[in-house]
Amino acid sequence: MENSGRQSELMKPIILKAGIPLALSLAGFLYSMITSRKKLHVGRATEEGHQVSQNDETEAQDDNRDHNSTQGLNSTSLLACTEGGVHMGNIQTKDSYISLQIRYRPETEEEILGLMKQVKALQDKEQELERRFVSFCGFIKEQELALTKLQNLLVLKQAHLDFLGMTIESREAERRKFELMIVEYLRVLKQLESARLDNGMLQKKAKKLRKYSNIVLRQASMLQAREAEISTSHEELQGKTQVIVELNDRIMVLEILVDKYQQEKKELAEKLELAETSASSVSKKESEDTGVYVHDQLITELEQLQKDRELRLKN
């Protein structure tokens, strides 16, 4: 009894090692049968489904073959180890496969129908996805065209902005030039105003010098005439020696004044000539009117001086 118990304990792991690959082989065989039936039903429904199921079946069969070959090798190695127990396991596996095929055939057909429905739903979904994909591709093309148009428009806008920038820069350069011209114009205008003021002052000085020079000339001519009268009436004026001495003193003073005025006249004439040259913008008519006015004024003052001199001589 102890020996039989030990033998049963030793056989259990051997049976388990041999049963696992056999069960996997049975499952692969059932899966191949299901996929083959699925292939037949799908081929009747639609050609496209037939191609898909055929590809799936081929891939599944290849996988199962590889798996079965691997498991077969494993089982062969295990069977070589277990000697006579392997043959009995194969016989039992075949019997169980036949019983399972008979027992679960209706359930397999229902599963195949369910799989066909799923395939049909997947095909419908695939068609819907294809339709959406085509629509999406058209939408993408439209968006690409719109994007191309926007890019072209952006390039045009950028070129327009560059042109506007160049225009603005040129306008800014013109504005700076114009500002410099305005500054230069204001500077010249100030210089012209200052020159006009200087010219007015020089003209006033020239008028005064002309007036004084005319007065001195008239006084000198009067003195010369008086000297002639004195020389002709020397005998009559012997009693008036003191008066003559005073007159001589006055004449000397007047001569000094005349020389001084002549010198000033000369200097003023030079300044006047320079002023007249710089004041070329003044009209000739204005200068002629001014000269006439000054001349009349000088004549009046000279007559007044002659009267004053005659009164002094009488006194």
What pLDDT is stored for residue 216 in this prediction?
78
The answer on pLDDT for 147 being more than 80 is yes
Domain boundaries, the chain: 2-103, 196-314
User: What pTM does this model have?
Assistant: 0.26
The Cα 76–Cα 259 span in angstroms is 159
For the record, the structure tokens of 251 come out as 């004449």
When computed from its CA atoms, the radius of gyration of the chain, rounded to whole angstroms, is 71
pLDDT in tens, 251-303: 677 777 767 767 766 776 676 677 667 655 555 555 555 555 655 676 677 67
Report the alpha-carbon distance of residue 153 to residue 149 in Å, rounded: 6
Which residues fall within 8 angstroms of residue 254, CB to CB, at 6 or more apart? 219, 220, 223
What pLDDT is stored for residue 234 in this prediction?
Answer: 61
| Cβ within 8 Å of residue 71, ≥6 positions away | 21, 24, 25, 28
Say whether pLDDT at 148 is over 80.
Answer: yes
Could you read off the pLDDT of 59-99 as tens digits, one per residue?
445 544 444 444 443 444 334 334 444 444 444 544 554 55
**pLDDT exceeds 70 at position 192:** yes
Q: Would you call 233 helix, strand, or coil by DSSP?
A: coil
| Residue 177 predicted with pLDDT over 70 | yes
Q: Is the pLDDT of residue 130 over 60?
A: yes
- The residues, any chain, with a CB within 8 Å of residue 282's CB and separated by 6 or more, are 199
Alpha carbons 110 and 116: distance in angstroms, whole number: 10
pLDDT recorded at residue 156: 92
